[in-house]
Chain A
Amino acid sequence: MTTPARDGRIVVVGASLAGLRAAETLREKGFTGELTLVGDEPVPPYDRPPLSKQVLLGRVAAGDCGLPARRPVDARWKLGVRATGLDATRKRVLLADGEELPYDRVLIATGTRARPWPHPEEAALDGVFTLRTDEDAARLAARLDAGPRRVLVIGAGFTGSEIASACRERGLPVTVAERGRAPLIGALGGTAAAFATRLQRAHGVDLRCGVTVTSLRGSGGRLTGAAFSDGSSIDADIAVVALGAVRNTEWLDGSGLAAGPRGVACDAGCRVFTMYGIVTDDVFVAGDVARFPHPLFEYQMIALEHWGNAVAQAEVAAHNMVSPGPLRRPHLTVPAFWSSQFGLNIKSVGVPTFSDQVILAQGRPEDRRLVAVYGYRGRITAAVTVDRAKWLDHYRHLIETGAPFPPAPGAADFHAGHEPVPSDVPDPRVLSHGPTVALTGHLPDRRLTLLRPGG
């Protein structure tokens, strides 16, 4: 017997990691209807993490980062075509080539794009790059091959730090400019970011924190250098703008959905809210573009630009798109990410910025092997390892079970005398990006609602 949820028409907008894994899961769960994937990039899905690592090191060609399929997917692929609108009343996705795709259910997986340099004339200089797509990586890798005299990296988040690492490994002089006090401070807090500062300097990076780039200078259309807010300047023939990502939601303007610069708001089951905070039942979202309430983080609306979240959320969204109400699942995965830079493997579970304290639980920074555990109001909320990945599952379990912070000693190399210190991050509520939809008191894993009388 065919249940209605397994038939009909599904359109997946976005054909990268989340869109691909969602399409595969839809078929795996028995969806037999028409399936269409729409992607604005002209190539099949590929993996982005290698672009700032193996590709910039020249070990892998940017065009060779295709993703393996989990299973065959019977679908129509519309690649190289941008979605321009969503008509929620007529249930149609509008495309740039004029086609309208009717749907019974739609998945939004349009992800993010690189935030461009704010001055268009300077951004157009030859030698100014962003890094998000395979084409970006191919162009940048070719220019690194040519042996630039100096590379300027603007922004010291994970992408910027990985770019700087690849350049140093190739022996190229690098200047990193970061407005914050330290590299990675936005992801790890100031205490752990002090480690990143020492790491970059030890590898010969000309690291300049607390400054902004006030102008990129050019001559004859080519980049020649940059000026900083502290009055200094450098000569550089390449500048990589690594100022984070912009969520691809503009195409949803006028759709009536809760979509904006902070992402597309959804419930714990990936169902998108309307602008009035009313949940839809035919529009779903997954991946970098989604904002969802997470029970481990006080149901704050969280948007995660993580590889693992794109996969996990796509699986939940696809499951819920073909499952009747009582069989639907919440997206409860503990956030996790990794970065390799300067020869080290940095991994994280939980949300380090959702913390007020941090403790060095194992290892020592001078050995470049450590576990830092983060807590918020006496509860463990995150852990970050440097070349200590085998410990992460242990801390993931402590996060999931709301274990007390600081963690009990027990690890073999626990160094006595380490005490929790402030993790030095902005107010954790900053993480919520000022939610337009707030859900509280709702425990999706128990499928019930708790009503607590006041007083």
Chain B
Amino acid sequence: MHVVVDLNRCQGYAQCVFLAPRVFALHGEEALTYTPAVPRDQEERVREAVVACPVQAILAGERAGP
């Protein structure tokens, strides 16, 4: 699973940071950073974060490509 966050849309509610702290982290008070390649044991947590994001900024899915 890979993840990308539309950081134009992100408003720093940080629900993803609470739900999947090994994938999402706040850098300072508001800037979100994340690990694009999701460790397998974190996939369920990331799915929860996708649903919980108040502005629906997280896209998770299989890596795009051939």
By a beta-carbon cutoff of 8 Å, the part of chain A in contact with chain B is 20, 24, 43-47, 49-50, 53-54, 59-61, 64-70, 73, 75, 77, 79, 307-308, 311, 336-338, 340, 343-345, 347, 387-390, 392
Contact = CB atoms under 8 A, between A and B. Distances in A.
16 contacts: A20-B64, A47-B4, A54-B35, A61-B37, A66-B37, A66-B64, A67-B4, A68-B3, A68-B59, A68-B61, A75-B66, A340-B28, A343-B31, A344-B31, A345-B31, A345-B32
Contacts of B40: none
Contact of A68 (B4, B10, B29): B4
Contacts of B62: 68-69
B42 interface: no
Interface of B: 1-4, 6-8, 10-12, 27-37, 59-66
B30 A389 contact: yes
B66 A79 contact: yes
A307 B36 contact: no
B33 A66 contact: no
Given A308-B8, A390-B12, A50 B30 contact: no
B14 to A, nearest CB: 11
Contacts of B2: 66-68
B28 A60 contact: no
Chain A to chain B: the 10 pairs with minimum beta-carbon distance, closest first: A44-B65, A340-B31, A343-B28, A68-B61, A345-B31, A69-B64, A77-B66, A64-B37, A345-B30, A66-B63
Contacts of A50: 33, 36
B59 to A, nearest CB: 5
Nearest to A75: B66
Most buried by A among B11, B27, B32: B27
Nearest to A339: B31
Nearest to A72: B62
Contacts of B29: 343, 345, 387
A344 B28 contact: yes
A307 B59 CA distance: 15
Nearest to A69: B64
Contacts of A389: 10-12, 30
Contacts of A390: 11-12
A308 B4 CA distance: 12
A77 B8 contact: no
A64 B28 contact: no
A67 B28 contact: no
Contacts of A340: 27-28, 31-33
Nearest to A335: B8
Given A66-B36, A344-B31, A345-B31, A308 B3 contact: no
B61 A338 contact: no
Contacts of B63: 44, 66-69
A15 B40 CA distance: 26
Contacts of A387: 28-30
Nearest to A55: B36
Nearest to A388: B30
Most buried by B among A54, A67, A70, A344: A67
A437 B32 CA distance: 39
Contacts of A59: 33, 35
Nearest to B27: A340
A386 B22 CA distance: 26
Nearest to B1: A68
Contacts of A307: 7-8
A68 B43 CA distance: 13
Contacts of A345: 12, 28-32
A436 B58 CA distance: 39
B2 to A, nearest CB: 4
A44 B66 contact: yes
A345 B11 CA distance: 10
Contacts of B28: 340, 343-345, 387
Nearest to B13: A390
Contacts of A75: 66
B52 to A, nearest CB: 17
Contacts of A53: 27, 33
Contacts of A343: 27-29, 31
Contact of B7 (A49, A54, A64): A49
A212 B24 CA distance: 38
Contacts of A336: 8
Nearest to A78: B66
B61 A69 contact: yes
A333 to B, nearest CB: 10
A118 B35 CA distance: 35
A442 B57 CA distance: 33
Contacts of B12: 345, 389-390
A377 to B, nearest CB: 26
B65 A45 contact: yes
